[in-house]
Amino acid sequence: MFHPKMQAFDKRMKEMFDEIDDVLEEKYGNRYPIHPNRPTRGATSNKAADGLFNVGVQFTAGYGSELGRGYTVDMNIATLENIPENEREDLLLFTVELIQEKLPIFFPEKNLTCARDRNLFKILGNFQLGTL
């Protein structure tokens, strides 16, 4: 059984990352050839399942982390091309800028931010759900 406020939070997070996916696909979607086994952009009902990019988050309790619990940002680029590390980092930094821009729009009642935690980025802040 899932907490209804957690489901609503997850839904907003998915909507935010769908918008970020759109921006990435528009700006960089033709930079690399898409993996042959991946559907083209818009071919599925889930933006995470098609196109060049799959961007989202996964909750972590933060054990061993410098910043503690939060949502780690996962960005996968669906291509067989070798992407130079500096380009991959530039794409990730641009994605983090988009996240910072959209967090207050999608979660105005929360004080959320995106920060580097060692070798990854994490959304941090107030994740309290309140009461049912």
Whether residue 131 lies inside any domain: the answer is no
The whole-number pLDDT of residue 17 equals 96
Cβ-contact 123, 132 below 8 angstroms: no
Whether the predicted pLDDT of 1 surpasses 60:
no
Whether residue 119 lies inside any domain: the answer is yes
Per-residue pLDDT of 74-90, as tens digits, reads 999 999 999 999 999 99
Whether residue 132 lies inside any domain: the answer is no
What's the structural domain count of the chain?
1
DSSP state at residue 58: E
pLDDT band with cut points at 50, 70 and 90 for residue 21: very high
Whether residue 10 lies inside any domain: the answer is yes
Whether residue 130 lies inside any domain: the answer is no
- In angstroms, rounded to a whole number, what is the distance separating the alpha carbons of residues 75 and 56? 7
> Which residue range is the domain that position 103 belongs to?
4-125
